[in-house]
Amino acid sequence: MRQEMRPGTAPHRAVSPPLSPPAWQEFVRQRPWLVTLAFVLACLALWELAAARPGRPEYLLGPSQIFTELLALTQGGGLAAQVLASLRRALLGFAIGGGLGLLLGLLAGVSRNFRDLFDLTQAFTHPVPKIALFPVVAVVLGFTDISRVLIIAISAFFPAYLNAVNGALGVNPRLFWVARNVGASRWRSFWQVLLPASLPRAVVGLRISLMVSFVLMVATEVVGHSNGLGAALMRAYREGAYGPMYAGIVCTALCGMAANALLAQASRRLLAWQAHAGGHLG
């Protein structure tokens, strides 16, 4: 955006050296969050304007309307119950599926036999979208929490399993030699050497598992009869109650983000030692 200097013209004001940008640009560059903020505010403003325009579609609500709706629901209308129902399912499914995936993955990482036994079965079941099993499971076990948590757990299992296996495979074998040298039992080696050593990679899998758990939570609530956030917002949609629908969506989004943030925080704590890591560790 700099102006070319035409030959023969001389500026009357001092020209800053050609390579240094204007001060304000430098200021913003140091604080990129300003750009983020500006962008988000601009989007919200546009949205609000679009929602306020006469002749807008009925379902278009602006941010301010959604906010008031959300507040109303929190105070009055059983939002807490929905959230609890949904969260319980998602977290239970995550705990079971992710936990099992982690442990079995670690086991498969150290035991060639176990890994081979699991290998083909895992390869065949992995590509199946587990939500596709839900209608069948629901028919057999009913539209209950059991069938929902089961599907959520199965879906959460795989990312946790695969990453745990890779984590375990990547552990420096010398670390186990140290354990044997010291006379540590297999049990101790599993929990005190294998687990912490595999954790960085395994945690990546757990974070994916958590996200998957939330997606499946919504998916299982949207189909058939249910309670919970997914069901509530689907119901609101069908009844044309757009306010509660948006509120439900925002609520679901917040739950997903909160859970993810908590796990990220927890893993940062657990893996604090990695922050100090150089390249060549044992």
Q: Name which of residues 171 to 210 contact other proteins (CB under 8 A).
A: 172, 174-175, 177-178, 180-184, 188, 192-193, 196-197, 199, 210
Stretch that binds other proteins, among 2-10, 11-19, 99-107, 124-132 (CB under 8 A): 124-132
Q: Which is nearer to other proteins, 72 or 223 (CB)?
A: 223
Among 140, 187, 225, 269, indicate the residue that binds other proteins (CB under 8 A). 140
Instruction: Give the list of residues 6+ apart from residue 131 with CB closer than 8 angstroms, or none.
Output: 151, 155, 216, 219, 220
Among 85, 108, 203, 219, indicate the residue that binds other proteins (CB under 8 A). 219
Q: Footprint of other proteins on residues 69-108 (CB under 8 A)? A: none
Among 1, 123, 187, 269, indicate the residue that binds other proteins (CB under 8 A). 123
Q: Which is nearer to other proteins, 15 or 43 (CB)?
A: 43
Q: Which is nearer to other proteins, 15 or 268 (CB)?
A: 268
Using rule CB under 8 A, residue 127 touches other proteins: yes
Using rule CB under 8 A, residue 227 touches other proteins: no
Dihedral, 55, 60, 62, 66 alpha carbons, nearest 10:
140
* Burial state string for 161-172 with b = 16 or more CB within 10 A and e = fewer than 16: bbbbbbbbeebe
The Cα 98–Cα 244 span in angstroms is: 32
Using rule CB under 8 A, residue 24 touches other proteins: no
User: What are the structure tokens assigned to 53, written together?
Assistant: 């325009």
Three-class SS of 266-277: HHHHHCHHHHHC
Within a 13 Å sphere around the CA of 270, how many CA atoms are in the beta-carbon half? 16
CB-CB contact of 124 with 68 (8 Å): no
The Cα 164–Cα 102 span in angstroms is: 5
Q: Footprint of other proteins on residues 235-264 (CB under 8 A)? A: 236-237, 245, 248-249, 252-253, 256-257, 259-260
